[in-house]
């Protein structure tokens, strides 16, 4: 009889569950293709099931072995799931970026921790389990991305919105931003899959809409640009007829040939990390690529991408030591003046494994440190450290005001009409509108709800003042 393997993607626990259930809006739910890769690497003789708590309930089914992935905001939930299975006498293995940064924390809640990328060690862990010799730690290597297995997409739920399929073409990021743990996990070397292998995979899947899950779909330098053009031209030559989205740096705006073939191959939108319209903030973040382009050229870059009929989802991170109180109004003005199509505003969050976390910890500025329970607050919507040039309330109110000014229903409609005028895509326009309304309304409602609580969910005495001397 086949042994049973459950692979689980936990949902983030939230402190105010009733509010969240009533108000949460999922604009674009992304399937956990990373878990489908693990399923494909599992040796024969296993019955495998992938459970994604973001779209379905976890019934704690019986199994022989349970694998659990984790991001930092989902860590406390992941540990709770693991402990529940261990109480039932079922072994658990945990992996993902959070436990890779904090394996000694994770091993308190699981039988085994996979550190780093799991492909090179997953089969070893399964074989060791079968021999009752499961080790506490397995450390994966940064493998070449040639001849990867095809992920078991047949095990992914059909409940994901937009018929969205995930495809990975590269890993790693040559940047080394202060707040990002990608380089610690995937490395600074930009590793690419052979273009023909990516095209073969795209040709084999039914999904019309594709999200390229790379940290950046276009690397840096002429060689990386030529590789991107080869991929996009290949999609055109094969007549794949896909609509796709991905993440990329603002410097793509100055690569017209890349943009031309991106659009021809079906690019509907690009997520770009502007991060800040303050060069002081970019310097504090060590965001060198953006500094090289220059904040003064952001609007020109947006226009260049728009001129190719491609929508832009702009991401901004507020609360860094380079931010002063005028950043909120300036960010609002940039969003509206530049006509960025959709917007994501987040609070600077010190994730474990980053220099930002280490620096704030050393400076004594971390405020929520009752780990692992407090990890659920490290979700980019809460302030978990003491800001330098403003109070907690000023930072939260400033971000909320940006959302009020840019994502109200009338403003979202105006932005959507502008998107359609540039792209002529009803699909991309709908996504931009839903993104703005979903993220904006959820943020504002959550903020107003938390403000109404008494006593406050956070100790105002330690959050209501900036650092001394500022």
Name residue 247's beta-bridge partners.
Answer: 271
Q: Are residues 128 and 169 in the same domain?
A: no
192 within domain boundaries: yes
- Burial of 194 per CB tally in 10 Å (0-12, 13-18, 19+): middle
CATH number at 279 reads 3.80.30.20
pTM of the model: 0.92
Interval 447-454 mean pLDDT = 79
pLDDT of residue 455: 46
Mapping DSSP to helix (H, G, I), strand (E, B) and coil, where does residue 409 land? helix
- Each residue's pLDDT tens digit, 380-405: 999 999 999 999 999 999 999 999 99
Assigned token pair, 20 = 């969240």
Residue 184 has pLDDT above 60, yes or no: yes
pLDDT of residue 459: 46
Domain count along the chain = 2
pLDDT of residue 176: 80
CATH number at 110 reads 3.40.50.2300
pLDDT of residue 442: 87
357 within domain boundaries: no
Element (H, E) at 120: none
Interval 363-391 mean pLDDT = 96
Q: Are residues 200 and 60 in the same domain?
A: no
Q: Are residues 297 and 232 in the same domain?
A: yes
Domain boundary among 109, 139, 169: 139
300 within domain boundaries: yes
pLDDT of residue 12: 85
pLDDT of residue 93: 98
CA atoms within 13 A on the CB side of 318: 29
315 within domain boundaries: yes
CA 49 to mean position of chain CA atoms: 24
**What percentage of the chain reaches a pLDDT higher than 90?**
77
Query: Minimal CA–CA distance to 423: which of 301, 308, 271?
Result: 308
301 within domain boundaries: yes
Q: Are residues 269 and 395 in the same domain?
A: yes
Q: Mean pLDDT of all residues in the chain?
A: 90
Band of residue 466 on the pLDDT scale cut at 50, 70, 90: low
- Each residue's pLDDT tens digit, 293-318: 999 999 999 999 999 999 999 999 99
Band of residue 467 on the pLDDT scale cut at 50, 70, 90: low
pLDDT of residue 454: 54
- Each residue's pLDDT tens digit, 262-289: 999 999 999 999 999 999 999 999 998 8
pLDDT of residue 15: 60
Band of residue 453 on the pLDDT scale cut at 50, 70, 90: confident
pLDDT of residue 235: 98
151 within domain boundaries: no
Residue 429 has pLDDT above 70, yes or no: yes
* Euclidean distance between CA atoms 399 and 169, whole angstroms: 34
Band of residue 241 on the pLDDT scale cut at 50, 70, 90: very high
Band of residue 21 on the pLDDT scale cut at 50, 70, 90: very low
Contact 270, 304 (CB under 8 A): no
pLDDT of residue 1: 74
Band of residue 340 on the pLDDT scale cut at 50, 70, 90: very high
CA 323 to mean position of chain CA atoms: 23
Domain that holds residue 47: 3-139
DSSP structure class, residue 164: E
* Euclidean distance between CA atoms 376 and 98, whole angstroms: 12
Assigned token pair, 196 = 């023909």
State the pairing for strand pair 311-318/267-275. Answer: parallel
pLDDT of residue 55: 86
Q: Are residues 297 and 392 in the same domain?
A: yes
Q: Are residues 100 and 234 in the same domain?
A: no
Q: Are residues 206 and 90 in the same domain?
A: no
Interval 196-207 mean pLDDT = 95
- Each residue's pLDDT tens digit, 127-156: 999 999 999 999 999 989 999 999 999 999
263 within domain boundaries: yes
Q: Are residues 180 and 238 in the same domain?
A: yes
Residue 436 has pLDDT above 80, yes or no: yes
Q: Are residues 174 and 126 in the same domain?
A: no
Query: Minimal CA–CA distance to 144: which of 196, 184, 190?
Result: 190
Interval 6-29 mean pLDDT = 64
Residue 170 has pLDDT above 50, yes or no: yes
Q: Are residues 102 and 193 in the same domain?
A: no
Contact 427, 268 (CB under 8 A): yes
Contact 215, 173 (CB under 8 A): yes
Q: Are residues 404 and 289 in the same domain?
A: yes
Residue 231 has pLDDT above 80, yes or no: yes
Interval 413-423 mean pLDDT = 94
pLDDT of residue 427: 85
Q: Are residues 112 and 187 in the same domain?
A: no
Those residues with Cβ within 8 angstroms of residue 199's Cβ, 6 or more apart along the chain or in another chain? 231, 234, 235, 238, 240
Band of residue 461 on the pLDDT scale cut at 50, 70, 90: very low
Report the alpha-carbon angle 57-58-62, nearest 5: 145
354 within domain boundaries: no
């Amino acid at each position: 009889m086949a042994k049973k393997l459950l692979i689980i993607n936990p949902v983030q626990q939230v402190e105010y569950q009733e509010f969240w259930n009533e108000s949460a809006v999922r604009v674009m739910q992304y399937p956990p293709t990373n878990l489908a890769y693990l399923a494909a690497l599992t040796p024969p003789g296993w019955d495998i099931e992938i459970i994604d708590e973001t779209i379905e309930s976890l019934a704690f089914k019986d199994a022989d072995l349970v694998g659990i992935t984790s991001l930092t905001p989902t860590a406390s939930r992941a540990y709770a799931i693991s402990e529940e299975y261990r109480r039932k006498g079922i072994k658990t293995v945990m992996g993902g970026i959070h436990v890779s940064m904090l394996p000694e924390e994770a091993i308190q809640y699981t039988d085994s921790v996979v550190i780093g990328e799991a492909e090179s060690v997953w089969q070893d862990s399964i074989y060791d389990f079968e021999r009752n010799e499961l080790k506490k730690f397995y450390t994966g290597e940064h493998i070449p991305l040639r001849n990867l297995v095809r992920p078991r997409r047949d095990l992914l739920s059909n409940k994901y919105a937009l018929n969205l399929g995930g495809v990975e073409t590269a890993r790693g990021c040559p940047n080394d931003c202060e707040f990002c743990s990608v380089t610690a996990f995937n490395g600074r070397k930009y590793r690419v899959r052979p273009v023909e292998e990516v095209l073969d995979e795209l040709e084999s899947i039914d999904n019309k809409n594709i999200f390229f899950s790379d940290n950046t779909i276009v690397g840096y330098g002429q060689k990386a640009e030529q590789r991107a053009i080869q991929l996009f031209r290949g999609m055109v030559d094969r007549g794949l007829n896909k609509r796709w989205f991905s993440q990329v740096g603002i410097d793509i705006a100055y690569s017209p040939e890349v943009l031309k073939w991106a659009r021809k191959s079906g690019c509907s939108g690009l997520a770009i990390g502007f991060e800040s319209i303050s060069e002081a903030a970019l310097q504090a973040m060590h965001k060198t690529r953006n500094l090289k382009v220059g904040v003064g050229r952001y609007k020109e870059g947006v226009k260049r991408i728009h001129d190719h009929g491609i929508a832009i989802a702009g991401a901004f991170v507020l609360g860094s030591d380079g931010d002063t109180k005028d950043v909120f109004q300036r960010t609002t003005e940039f969003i509206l003046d530049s006509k960025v199509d959709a917007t994501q505003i987040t609070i600077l969050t010190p994730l474990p494994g980053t220099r930002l976390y280490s620096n704030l910890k050393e400076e004594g500025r971390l405020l929520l440190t009752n780990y692992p329970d407090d990890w659920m607050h490290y979700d980019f919507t809460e302030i978990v450290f003491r800001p330098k040039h403003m109070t907690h309330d000023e930072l939260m109110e400033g971000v909320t005001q940006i959302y009020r000014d840019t994502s109200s229903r009338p403003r979202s409609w105006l932005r959507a009409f502008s998107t359609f005028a540039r792209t002529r895509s009803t699909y991309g326009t709908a996504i931009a509108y839903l993104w703005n309304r979903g993220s904006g309304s959820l943020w504002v409602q959550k903020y107003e709800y938390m403000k109404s609580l008494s006593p406050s969910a956070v100790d105002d005495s330690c959050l209501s003042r900036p650092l001394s001397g500022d």
